[in-house]
A and B are shown apart, each in its own frame.
Chain A
Amino acid sequence: MSLLETVQLEHLPPGYDISLALFRNVKNSAFLHEQLLAGNTEFEYALIDASVLVSRVHALAAVYRAVSDLLGGRLRSRNVHSEIVFSLSPNNNIAESFRRFGITPATTSLLVIKVSLPPSSTTDTSTASPLSSPDIQAHLAANIEGDSLPFTDASIASLTDVARIKKIYKLNSGGGAKKTKGAVNGAGIHGGNEDGNNQDEVHELEVAVLGAMALRGSNN
Chain B
Amino acid sequence: MEIEPARPIPAPALAPPDLSQVGPPSSPLPLPKIFANDPAPPTLVTQGAEALLYRTTYLLPSIACALKYRPSKPYRHPILDARLTKHRILSEARVLVKCRKEGVPVPAVFALDEKEGWLMIEWIEGEVVRIRLNEWLQRRKEEGEELRARHEAVLKGLMARIGSAIGRMHGVGIVHGDLTTSNLMLRGGSEDLLADDKILEGEVVLIDFGLASQSTADEDRAVDLYVLERAFGSTHPRAEGLFSELLVSYGKSFKGATVVLKKLEDVRMRGRKRSMLG
Contact = CB atoms under 8 A, between A and B. Distances in A.
Interface of A: 7, 9-14, 57, 60-61, 64-65, 68, 171, 173, 176-185, 189-191, 204, 207-208, 210-212, 214-215, 218-219
Contacts of B57: 10-11
Interface of A, helix, strand, loop or mixed by DSSP:
loop
Given A10-B61, A178-B102, A185 B109 contact: no
Contacts of B94: 215, 218-219
B203 A189 contact: no
Interface string B93-114: 1101100111111001111111
B34 interface: yes
Contacts, number: 102
B60 A214 contact: no
B63 interface: yes
A2 B93 CA distance: 39
B114 to A, nearest CB: 7
B108 A189 contact: yes
Given A215-B93, A219-B94, A60 B35 contact: no
Contact of A183 (B60, B93, B104, B114): B104
A35 B104 CA distance: 45
Contacts of A215: 90, 93-94, 97, 109, 112
Given A10-B57, A183-B104, A214-B112, 10 more contacts: A10-B38, A10-B61, A11-B56, A11-B57, A173-B102, A177-B101, A210-B108, A214-B109, A215-B112, A218-B94
A181 B103 contact: yes
Contacts of A182: 203
Interface of B: 34-38, 56-63, 90, 93-94, 96-97, 100-105, 108-114, 122, 187, 203
Contacts of B58: 10, 189
Residue in A64, A179, A207 with the greatest tally of chain B CB atoms within 10 Å: A207
Contact of B37 (A12, A189, A191, A218): A12
A12 B111 CA distance: 14
Q: List 9 tightest A-B contacts by C-beta distance, closest first.
A: A211-B97, A180-B103, A207-B108, A178-B103, A183-B105, A13-B37, A211-B109, A10-B57, A60-B59
Contacts of B111: 61, 64-65, 210, 214
